[in-house]
Structure 1
């Protein structure tokens, strides 16, 4: 049996997919979820083989949800927006269903899935493809998982970011969070007028800088409004000068 979860904030959309799914004996519906928070928990609980996932959901988008799950399932995305279909899903790693979903198109997606299932690399290809799509979007909030809790951090609350092995430390005035993501990805997504890569290990929020002082060998140290200090390289200092006119 192919364990399946349907995640969509629209009850009618879930109902249509589930109704179509009943016509295929090899698929077992193990959960249906109305938002990304429920979806992440259901995926952790059931470890499904397949997820039908809506992209645009108000609490937690489909892409944001995929960023915080540990085991990536096979995914068939559902969307009402042509821009995602054209931009994101031309590769063979994943499929999408454009709403309203027809029976014929649904059958095509499942047929494609059956050929994909023997390919154990498909979920990782999906993860990489979603990462590429996300890097082309501007970042307005950061979703992190802290134990069993999911935390949404508005970008305006971030004071600076710090490289930490395979993770990035996201610093706010009140706390620090870990995100399994690269500094390069954050650099691509954050507004370059607000966030500057001042060092290979640090991205600073411009309005949080209190002062910058020279150190040895053309390096600098920046003091933030919080009192914290971060390193600034020669090239990072040059970028700062260009943006804020030091």
Structure 2
């Protein structure tokens, strides 16, 4: 497994390098000391795993991930425990709180290796089953106030109501987003993240940083060979489930 070490402190990088010597199945391909270099190195080297500090010059660890098209497996390492929840929400496989010892580090790497060893067919089957369950028994929104039945989009000088039940997928369009519905396309003045918060997560899933889909619109999934999937929607549209979002989905699959 190719690995990149990202930390602005040289002693911290040295510890990771020394501890990784216990794992011949892990190969270090580089080191970075700031966020901008991390983004460039990940894009160039395409590591399968990164050990990522959170507080760094230039960009913090979360901002680094936000700039990536494909996010590798991530183990965060930081001296600040308040970032733990955000780290796991970002799809991290583990969170090392400095200072950590070799035993704690070994548990983190073992978790990564076990995650890699999980059968992809089993993961795919669980995801397919969840999509099928969502299509057959679509749960109601948790509360009308939290998940409105309609979204309003600008059309000239007017605001037009778009029923949420007609939305099949949402695509980022710069600071805005395009709603692809059963009746046509509508440009929302909200970004995709804002729309994600307004749509029921039991009915809509973020599968890429630029794509949000209705679960009951997904008819087929196919592995892409790099840890993600290709999702075929009603009508034949194919959208990609990036590896970072596929990893985040797996804990929800049961």
Normalising by structure 1, report the TM-score. Answer: 0.49
